Amino acid sequence: MNQKSVYILGIESSCDDTSASVIYNGKVLSNVVANQEVHSKYGGVVPELASRAHQQNIVPVVQQALEQASINKSDLSAVAFTRGPGLMGSLLVGTSFAKSLALGLNIPLIDVNHMQGHILAHFIDEEDTKKPPFPFICLTISGGHTQIVKVSNHFEMEVLGETIDDAVGEAFDKSAKILGLRYPGGPLIDKYAQKGNPKAFKFTKPKVGDLDFSFSGLKTGILYFIQKQVKENPNFIEENLVDICASIQYTIVEILMDKLKNAVKHTGIKHIAIAGGVSANSEIRKRLQLAEKHWGWTTYVPKFEYTTDNAAMIAITGYLKYLNNNYSDISITAHPRLKVTE
Ligand code: KG4
Ligand code: ZN
């Protein structure tokens, strides 16, 4: 097989973004993402609407990805798709599409674990991004997951700790909802926090195992605090929005950094990567830079467009599997609860 010209089409449809990407020998040629506006007025993803929107988006999104990559379907070496974890109705759209396309083109089909995809996005060939050496620690922070993973090889991963309740992205989004901000609120909290004082308000950090996370108590603490303040001053949120956002963000990032410090202590590994939607957060990026300076860590932060859900991360994972001839059987089905180690 000529490994000099491997074109992988990646398809991502696990939640509310329909995405397709073409990767050529590890380099991104296209990465098209169609966001679904339809959910914002409901304050969260509505699974049935997500599935319907994927059905509408998938053909034009794939078409656009091929066009931007300036290739034809017939040039593809394999089709990679997100098998799980995610919403069943959403996953089914990408899975069925990928299966039909691979079958029609008579090329290999490759199933990809979405969480592995977030982590392996670090192996996309980019001029100005360094790839982490094995073993490294990856803090995977997204809307559905919060995990500390020891990555010993591309496909050898061990979960060292994870959330016992809400994911960190949910903590951002639910806090934003309490403040009346639209979904998804994480990026908005980040935006307002830039202008605020992170020490203005103090929220209690949860007490859980060394490498585990818990965010539901923090969310309740924020809710009670806001309710109490608004009772005394109905304009409390408007008058203090930037300080509230900065304080929430500071507390959440403190929790993440505490856990990373514990992971370094437990494993002795100082190569630290972050992945997932919340790794777009400016405060965590800042804090990791400081950790390089003060604690001698080497940190790896994905390029912004590979943090939130995207198909380039699925395509690169597919590419790495392709190099190992690790293909899927056409009878494969979507798996909404797939674990990162599966
Ligand atoms: O990885 P992702 O796109 O989807 C999942 O697989 O869950 O992550 C989405 C999450 C949302 O909760 C969103 O609010 C959060 O990532 N997020 C952020 C930022 N950008 C996205 N949270 C904090 N700060 C950001 N800048
Ligand atoms: Zn994700």
SS (H, E, C) the chain: CCCCCCEEEEEECCCCEEEEEEEECCEEEEEEEEECHHHHHHCCCCHHHHHHHHHHHHHHHHHHHHHHCCCCHHHCCEEEEEEECCCHHHHHHHHHHHHHHHHHHCCCEEEEEHHHHHHHHHHCECCCCCCCCCCEEEEEECCCCEEEEEEEECCEEEEEEEECCCCHHHHHHHHHHHCCCCCCCHHHHHHHHCCCCCCCCCCCCCCCCCCCECCHHHHHHHHHHHHHHHHHCCCHHHHHHHHHHHHHHHHHHHHHHHHHHHHHHHHCCCEEEEECHHHHCHHHHHHHHHHHHHHCCEEECCCHHHCCCCCHHHHHHHHHHHHCCCCCCCCCCCCCCCCCCC
Q: Which atom number of ligand 1 is nearest to the Cα of residue 168?
A: 12
Q: Take atom 23 of ligand 1 and give the residue whose Cα is closest.
A: 186
Interior CA angle at 115 toward 262 and 60, to 5°?
Answer: 145
pLDDT above 60: residue 245:
yes
The whole-angstrom separation of Cα 55 and Cα 63 is 14
pLDDT above 90: residue 292:
yes
The whole-angstrom separation of Cα 233 and Cα 305 is 40
Q: Is 117 in the pocket of ligand 1 (CB under 6 A)?
A: no
pLDDT above 60: residue 113:
yes
Over range 103-127, report the average pLDDT.
Answer: 97
Looking at residue 39, its pLDDT comes to 78
The whole-angstrom separation of Cα 290 and Cα 286 is 6
Q: pTM score, two decimals?
A: 0.94
Over range 85-89, report the average pLDDT.
Answer: 95
Structural domains of the chain in order of their starting residue, each with its CATH number: 7-123+308-323 (3.30.420.40), 136-301 (3.30.420.40)
Which ligand minimizes its atom distance to the CA of 278?
Answer: 1
Q: Which residues does 155 contact at the CB level (< 8 Å), separation at least 6?
A: 116, 320, 321
Between the CA of 13 and the centroid of ligand 2 the distance, in Å, is: 10
Q: Which atom number of ligand 1 is nearest to the Cα of residue 185?
A: 14
| Residue 36 or 314, more confident | 314
Q: Tell me 262's DSSP state.
A: H
Read off the pLDDT of residues 166-185 as tens digits, 9 standing for 90 and up.
Answer: 999 999 999 999 999 998 89
pLDDT band at residue 16 under the 50/70/90 scheme: confident
Between the CA of 276 and the centroid of ligand 1 the distance, in Å, is: 7
Would you give the distance in Å from CA 300 to the centre of its chain?
15
